[in-house]
Amino acid sequence: MDYFDECRRVVIVGAGLGGTAAAIRVLQFAREPVQVVLLERRPDYRNAGVAYHGESNHWQHVFNIQAGRMSVFREDVDDFVVWANLEADRAGWPPEWRLPR
């Protein structure tokens, strides 16, 4: 019997920000081994989703909220700011947004 045959499987439809955040939380709070499957019908939306896909969302159309108030984890309210400042690949960002922290 295979490892994945013995654990629960959770299927999340949509691999954008919401689906990815849901997968992270399921894995984080699982009390037993779990396999998470993210389904996304559009390969070009994987790892970006519709909200962050370059062709579907222009830089002028962004969330109207301060980065310091955005968070995936309520217990770590600075997670988005830390990611944006230290881990995000800013190569494709508009020049005026690449350097500020």
In a domain, 54, yes or no: yes
Whether 101 is in a domain gets the answer no
Same domain, 6 and 50: yes
Q: How far is CA 38 from CA 8, 61, 93, in A?
A: 14, 26, 26
Whether 18 contacts 49, CB under 8 Å: yes
Two tokens, residue 66: 């301060």
- How many domains are contained in the chain? 2
Tens-level pLDDT at each residue, the chain (101 residues): 566 577 899 999 988 778 888 999 999 999 999 999 999 887 766 655 555 555 655 655 566 667 677 788 888 888 888 888 888 888 887 788 777 66
Domain check: are 32 and 56 in the same one? yes
Confirm whether 99 is domain-assigned.
no
Percentages of the chain per state (helix, strand, coil), in multiples of 5: 40, 10, 50
Residues 5, 40, single domain; the answer is: yes
40 and 70 share one domain: no
Domain residues for the domain of 76 are 63-93
Give the model's pLDDT for residue 85. Answer: 84
Residue 82 maps to a domain: yes
